[in-house]
Amino acid sequence: MTAQILETDRKTIPQATQYEIDSSGFVYRKTRHLRCGEEIASRRLQLQRTHGRWNASIYTDEGVRWRFDSERLARSMFHDPDPMLTHDDIIDNFKTRPVPDFSRYVITSYGAIYCIDPPKRGLNAGQCYLVHESLKRNRAYVNLYHHDGTRKNLKVANLVKLVWEY
């Protein structure tokens, strides 16, 4: 038994008009009949998985190769934008306390750590966000950054004990 993907609506990618994307993030190249110039079919491109994301590699209308996260582009073209966390939302609604020595971060009593002073560049530029945890020997750790860019890898359980005095 094989799985089938249902046909979904497609939209043309704005900066690469010979390509389409569907709401699931699959990318298609439009093919044209050579004699009459009519569009006859679309061929789905193979996506590459890198760092936990599905990426497509296409050529823009200017001929420049463009590699992008296809699921992210599909979300931006087909769905409402994700809600943004604000400084006031985090402070007022999540019952947080500041992390000592790291003024950019606050922590909840259950160990969720938020950055309330967002960076100027990078993936989370200009927005408050939940800090990603990593596991080492079944313990949660986070990387917290000082304003000067230096970072420290800290155990989440120790931060909760320090801040909430548990």
User: What tens digit of pLDDT does each residue of 33-83 get?
Assistant: 556 666 667 889 999 998 888 999 999 999 999 999 999 899 889 987 767
51 & 105 share domain: no
pLDDT for the residue 40:
65
Asked if residue 68 and residue 16 are part of one domain, the reply reads yes
Q: How confident is the model at residue 141 (pLDDT cuts 50, 70, 90)?
A: very high
Question: What pLDDT band is residue 9 in, cutting at 50, 70 and 90?
Answer: confident
Q: Are residues 55 and 91 in the same domain?
A: no
Which own/partner contact pairs does 19-26 have at CB distance under 8 Å and 24+ positions apart?
A: 19/45, 19/58, 21/70, 21/73, 21/74, 21/77, 22/74, 23/74, 23/78, 23/79, 24/71, 24/74, 25/54, 25/70, 25/71, 25/73, 25/74, 26/70
Task: Show the domain range for 94.
Answer: 87-164
160 has pLDDT over 60? yes
Angle (nearest 5°) at CA 39 between 33 and 44: 105
Position 44 in a domain: yes
Evaluate whether residue 49 is within a structural domain.
yes
Residue 51 belongs to some domain of the structure: yes
Q: How remote is the C-alpha of 151 from its chain's centroid?
A: 22
Give the end of a domain, one of 78, 102, 118. 78
pTM of the model: 0.59
